[in-house]
Amino acid sequence: MSKNIDSVLNENRVFPPSEAFTARAALRTPEEYARLHRWSVEQPEAFWAEQAEGLDWFRKWDRVRNWDNPPFAKWFEGGRINAAFNCLDRHLAERGDKVAIQWEGEPGTAEDRRALTYRDLHREVCVFANVLKARGVGKGDTVAIYMPLVPELAIAMLACARIGAVHSIIFGGFSAPALVDRITDASSKVVVTADGGWRRGQVVPLKHIVDDALKNTPTVTSCIVLKRTGQAVEMVPGRDVWWDAATAGVSSECPAEELDAEHPLFILYTSGSTGKPKGILHTTGGYLLGAQLTTRYVFDLRHEDVYWCTADIGWVTGHSYVVYGPLANGATVLMYEGAPNYPGPDRFWEIVARYKVSIFYTAPTAIRAFIKWGDAEPAKHDLSSLRVLGSVGEPINPEAWMWYHRVIGGERCPIVDTWWQTETGSIAITPLPGITPTKPGSATFPFFGIDAAVVDDKGNELPNGQGGFLVIRQPWPSMLRTLWGDDERFRDVYWKRFAEQGYYLAGDGAVRDQDGYFWILGRIDDVLNVSGHRLSTMEVESALVGHDAVVEAAVVGFNHEIKGEGVAAFVTLGVGAVKTDALKDLLKRHVRDTIGAIAAPDQIHFTDSLPKTRSGKIMRRLLRDVANGVESKGDMSTLEDLNILAKLREEED
C-alpha cells in the first residue's frame, strides 16, 4: 500500500451509556478509563502485575515482561499457573453449585438440555484428563479436537489444559484434507471427536470425516468418540474407543499440573487463501489474563449474568469468550449446538427468553441474517433480560448496528463492537459499556495494554481522518507467541513491514475520526484502488446496507480499463424487494449520494446469499473471481456452502 486509505463514510450518531447502567458498572467514568489505559501503556509491567493478581498462581513470576528478543515476547516468566485450575478449582468453595455451562442441543428436546455446575464440570474434566493420560498424553503433547458444540468439547479442552497437553481444536465443519493438514502439522497423538453433530436438522458425519483423515495421519494412536447422534459409525479396534467406555470407572482425582506461564496452551489454525494453514500458538499465563480481564470489563460481567457468546469453540472467539474468559470469572455460560434458524428463524430469541440471557455476543453476519428474517421473529419473545449486546468478527455496518440497538436491545442495551483477532488472543479495541459513548460501526478505543495506532507505509502515525495500517506498538500479554513450527513466517507476516519500529501489523486498515474513535476499514488486501483513490470496502458496503431494500452487501474490485479497478457489489435484498435493473440504478445513485461518485458501483449483482466461511466471514476473493470472470482456485475448505459459488456464476451467464 503506497498511499493512505481515503475514508469517505460519515457517521455522526452517538449513543452514551444510560445513567442507570453506568451507576452499576465496574468502570464508570471516561477519566477512569483514560488513567488506566495511560498506566497500561506507559508502565505495562506495573499495570499487568497488578491485573495478574486476579488469577490464581502456584508460584508468582520473576519478571512480568521480557521483550529482549523481539518479536518473541515472554510474560510472567518464572510464574507457575494452570488454566483449568483457574477456570474450575478456584471457584469450587464459593460457586461449586453454580451453573457453569447451560447447554441446549439443536433438537431442543428435554434430553438435549443440560446444566453442569462448576463441581460437575470439574469432575468431568478430571476424569477426561485421566483418560488422556492413560493414552500416553502428557505435557507438551498435542490433542486434536473435532466436535460439535457440546459440553464435552469444553471438557476435552480443559482436560488438556489441566495436564499440560496442547489442544488443537478444529471446527467441526472442516473437510478431511483440512483435518489432515492440521493434525499432521501439530503431530497430534489423540483425536477427540463424535459420531456426528446436528446442523439444521441434519447430521454432520464427523466420525466418517475423521476416518478419512486418519488414513493419512501417522502420528495419531487413539481416537475417542462421543456418542451424540446415534448414527452407525465404524470403530477401528485398538485405535477407536467410545467416550462412555473410556471414562467408565475412571478416577475423578487429577491434580492440575503446575505449568510455566509460557507453557503452550493451544494451537489454533487460521486458513490463508492459499498454502499451508497458520498455527497460531498461545501460551498459558498471558493469554488467560487477557481473556479473563476483557470478559470482566468489556461485558461488565456480574455474578448473576447468563452469558451467551454464539461462536463455535472451534474459532478463537469460542476459546476466549465461551470457555476461558467466562469460566475464569466464574460465570454462567450458555452453549447452543445448532443453527440460528432451526427449526425457525426465532430460535436464538426463544433461547434468550427461556434462559433469561443477559449478555449476548454474536457476529455481524448473524445480525444481518436476523434483519433479513424480519422484526417479527424477535418480537415473538421477551428479550427484556438482555442488558449488554456485543458484536465480533468483522466491522459492523452502521445500519445493522442500529437495528441491533433498536430491535434486540430495545434502545436500552449498550453495544460493545469489538475488534480483535486470533492473533491478539483477546479483545483489543472496544467500548466499555458503562463509560464509552458509542458510534454505530466504530470499535471506539483500545483496551488496556493495547497501544494501537494508524500509520502510513513508513510507520508514521497519521492524523485523525486519514486511513492507513492498523498497528499495535508494543507487546501485550495475550498476543500470539509464534506460528507453530515456523518462526520465520511469524516474523514475515506480522513484524517484517514495520520491523524498524517494532510494530505488530494487524493486516487491517483503520482510521481514527476527529474524536479519536477507531473505525476498522477491513483487510488491507480488500482496499479498492479506484482512479487513484484508495477506498475501504467496508464503507461502500455500509452505504449499500443503508438503503432500505438491502440487508447485506459485499464489495470487491475488478479489473477496469479506465479506472484501473472498478467497484463490484454483491447485494442481498430484504423481504419484498424485487431484483430489477431500476433497483440497481437506484442503489448506484444511493452510494453516490451517500459517499461520493468515486465509490458508486460499476457492477451490482443480486444474490440470495454470499460465499462465507463457517465462521461467517465473507470470502471476497471468490467474489473477485466472479466479478473478473475467472475460475476460482486455492483453498476453499472453509467455505460453508460450495453451491453458492455455482449459483453466483449461473446468475452471470
The larger pLDDT score, comparing residue 431 to residue 542, is at 431
Q: What CA–CA distance (Å, rounded) separates 325 from 420?
A: 14
Kindly report, residue by residue over 122-171, the tens digit of the pLDDT. 999 999 999 999 999 999 999 999 999 999 999 999 999 999 999 999 98
Residue 357's nearest CA partner among 325, 381, 328 is: 381
Determine the 3-state secondary structure of 391 from DSSP. Answer: strand
Amino acid letter for position 42: E
Residues 574-629: tens digit of each pLDDT: 888 999 999 999 999 998 887 777 788 999 999 988 887 766 778 888 888 888 88
Q: Which residues pair with 266 in a beta bridge?
A: 167, 282
Residue 653 has pLDDT above 70, yes or no: no
Confidence (pLDDT) at 429: 98
Q: Is the pLDDT of residue 273 over 70?
A: no
User: The pTM is what?
Assistant: 0.88
**d(C-alpha 19, C-alpha 25), whole Å:** 10
Residue 10: how many other CB atoms lie within 10 Å: 9
> 3-class SS at 323?
helix
Question: Hey, how many other C-beta atoms are within 10 angstroms of the C-beta on 512?
Answer: 24
**Mean pLDDT confidence for 222-228:** 98
Query: For all residues of the chain together, what is the average pLDDT?
Result: 92
Mean pLDDT for the stretch of residues 403-424: 97
> Could you give the CA distance from residue 477 to residue 474 in angstroms, rounded to a whole number?
10
Residue type, 146: Y
Per-residue confidence band for 91, with pLDDT thresholds at 50, 70 and 90: very high
User: Over the stretch 347-377, which tens digit does the pLDDT of each residue have?
Assistant: 999 999 999 999 999 998 899 889 989 999 9
How many CB atoms are located within 10 Å of the residue 311 CB?
23
Q: Can you list the pairs that 342-347 forms with residues at least 24 positions away whose Cβ atoms lie under 8 Å?
A: 342/106, 342/199, 342/200, 342/201, 343/108, 343/201, 344/377, 345/370, 345/373, 345/374, 345/377, 346/377, 346/378, 346/380, 346/381
8 Å CB contact between 331 and 321: no
d(CA 627, CA 165): 46
Pairing relationship of beta strands 388-391 and 452-455 according to DSSP bridges: unpaired
Q: Answer for the pair 444, 438: CB distance below 8 angstroms, yes or no.
A: yes
Identify the pLDDT of residue 1: 39
For 381, the grid coordinates are 419473545
Distance of alpha carbon 555 from alpha carbon 368, whole angstroms? 15
Higher pLDDT pick, 220 / 178 = 220
Compute, in degrees rounded to 10, the torsion defined by CA atoms 157, 639, 392, 325.
0
559, containing H or E segment: strand 550-560
pLDDT digits (tens, 9 = 90+) for 280-290: 999 999 999 99
CA distances, 50 to each of 320, 476, 543, 588 (Å)? 21, 14, 44, 54
pLDDT of 541: 86
DSSP state of 77: E
pLDDT at residue 621, as a whole number: 82
Location of C-alpha cell 467474489: 623
Banded pLDDT at 111 (limits 50, 70, 90): confident
**pLDDT at residue number 281:** 98
- Alpha-carbon distance values, 42 to 74, 429, 448, 449 (Å): 18, 18, 11, 9
Q: Is the pLDDT of residue 650 over 90?
A: no
pLDDT recorded at residue 115: 98
Mean pLDDT for the stretch of residues 167-192: 92
Q: Which residue is it, cell 499440573?
A: 257
Q: Over 90: is that where the pLDDT of 120 sits?
A: yes
DSSP 327-367: HHTT-EEEEE-S-TTSSSTTHHHHHHHHHT--EEEE-HHHH
Is residue 7 very low, low, confident or very high in pLDDT (cuts 50, 70, 90)?
low
Confidence of residue 96 (pLDDT cuts 50, 70, 90): very high
Task: Pinpoint the alpha helices (H) of 390-450.
Answer: 398-403
Mean pLDDT of 187-215: 96
In percent, the amount of the chain with pLDDT more than 70 equals: 94
Percent of the chain with pLDDT over 90: 77
Chain segment 498-550, per-residue pLDDT in tens: 999 999 999 999 999 999 999 998 888 777 777 666 677 877 888 898 899 99
Hey, what CATH class is 527-652 in? alpha beta
